[in-house]
Structure 1
Amino acid sequence: MRQKAEFILAVLFLAGLIAASRNITRYVASAQVGKSSELVVLDAGHGDSDPGKVGVNEAKEKDINLAIAKKVEGLLKEKGIQVVMTRKDDTSLAEEGASNKKIEDMKARVALINKESPRLAVSIHQNSYHEENVSGAQVFYYSHSEEGKAAADVMQKAMLACNAENTRQAKANDTYYLLKRTEVPTIIVECGFLSNWKEAELLITEEYQDKIAGAICQGILDYLGK
């Protein structure tokens, strides 16, 4: 009789555990409703006292980078992609009083990306060259990252849609701090050359920024398989 009672109690205890497990599963599932399973970090290069490149038309790279990054953020969120921005205004990530704000700012960007651990990090920049005729968007990736190369190839293809004359290909790099120090696939998108009059003038227009942002968004979605 005692053994039978113990058996019944054991069965009831087991049933209780199963019911609790189901409730926990339902709770976790409900908590995740509406939350994206994909995370992308968008890094608008430069900011604050660091203007980045200054165009032949006096346009500041930091302003163009941020404008495009915000547009990409909006487009990705419309597609249900979770986005983290390294900056949302004209600021530096370096702490006040840092002895070298540019270096501290870059370290902070890397730390943020590594902390968030996204599927992909995209750093948005503008290019410059000593010859005015050079133009065209180009994507850079870390030489020793296979996933970085895969993402860069996909993004470069998307960026070519902005300019039929652009024949540039994704390019490996060993030296860029952001590419070397991040622990996730990271690419740098150089949207155009501020040293080229035609491209510099395009890059400050809302219409062309929308076009660039659309291409970057499409490149990210293609890489994520969306």
Structure 2
Amino acid sequence: MKKKIIVSILLIVLSIGIGYQFLDLDIVNKVTAEDLRLKGKTIILDPGHGGMDQGTKGKKQGTIEKDLNLTVAKNIKKELEERTDAKVILTRDTDTSVLPELNQKKELQARADMVKKESADIYVSIHHDAYEDPNVEGITTHYTAFRSDDKKLAKLVQKAIFDQKIDSRDRGVKDSDYLVLRENTVPAILIELGFTSNESDEVRMNSKEFQDKAKKGIADGIIDFLSRK
């Protein structure tokens, strides 16, 4: 009798274990299937500034925006390539501008034009802001009201960033008239990941923890948006 009880208990435990294995496998398969929906999609990541155009400069640590933009964009590219089959393209992968001549309007237009050249599905520009008031801080995602999908993308990415419990103020999404957004032909956003003019923001944005949460959140938002298309 005791043997039968022991055998029965072992069978129950074994069944539960197998059930959990299948449950875990099912979850993994769902995540994989979701991410693989991006197969055939092309994502443009635009690290703002570059070359002679350094962007903003931090007062506390002397952070150069163009360098930080590139670091963050490369992190996001790696995250997306590890998790999806999407093609991810950087407008620049070194400390250079897209065009050889120093003409800001033409430079920005060239970055927006890469969407057409690469038949991209989405455009995401990475920046770090600055303001005359050093107390202003936080993360903002900009979009243009010309396309309804832009606001949807902006909201998804902004939410996904703060779902990471990132240490920053949520400044929300904002309708803005940036050339790289206005002249684009696909859903496009510009993310300002903090203010180099704010000492606390500058320290945060240079930390590995902040950068890891930023790349994960931005990638999550992009995947969520493109998986719905």
Whether the 8 Å contact between 1:137 and 1:159 is mirrored in structure 2 is no
Separation (CA, whole Å) in 2 of partners of 1:154 and 1:81: 18
1:61-140 paired onto structure 2 within 5 Å: 61-79=65-83, 80-95=85-100, 98=101, 100-140=102-142
Separation (CA, whole Å) in 1 of partners of 2:55 and 2:108: 13
Unmatched 5+ stretches in structure 2: 1-37
Give deviations 1:134-179, integer Å, cap 9, x for gaps: 1111100012110111100101111223436623221111x21101
Specify the alignment match of 1:39 in structure 2: 42
Q: SS in structure 1 opposite 2:89?
A: strand
Normalising by structure 1, report the TM-score: 0.78
Structure 1 stretches of at least 4 aligned residues deviating more than 4 Å after TM superposition: none
- Structure 1 or 2, whichever has the larger Rg, is 1
CA-atom RMSD in angstroms:
1.7
Say which is worse superposed, 180-189 or 196-205, in terms of deviation: 196-205
Separation (CA, whole Å) in 2 of partners of 1:39 and 1:165: 30
Separation (CA, whole Å) in 2 of partners of 1:48 and 1:90: 5
* 1:52 and 2:55 aligned: yes
| CA-CA distance at 1:43 after TM superposition | 0.4
Unmatched 5+ stretches in structure 1: 1-34
| CA-CA distance at 1:94 after TM superposition | 1.1
**Structure 1 pair 113/88, CA: closer, same or farther in 2 (3 Å)?**
same
| CA-CA distance at 1:196 after TM superposition | 0.9
Percent identity of equivalent pairs: 34
Say which is worse superposed, 104-113 or 159-168, in terms of deviation: 159-168
Give deviations 1:192-218, integer Å, cap 9, x for gaps: 111110110121223322221111111
1:203-218 paired onto structure 2 within 5 Å: 203-218=205-220
Separation (CA, whole Å) in 2 of partners of 1:133 and 1:180: 29
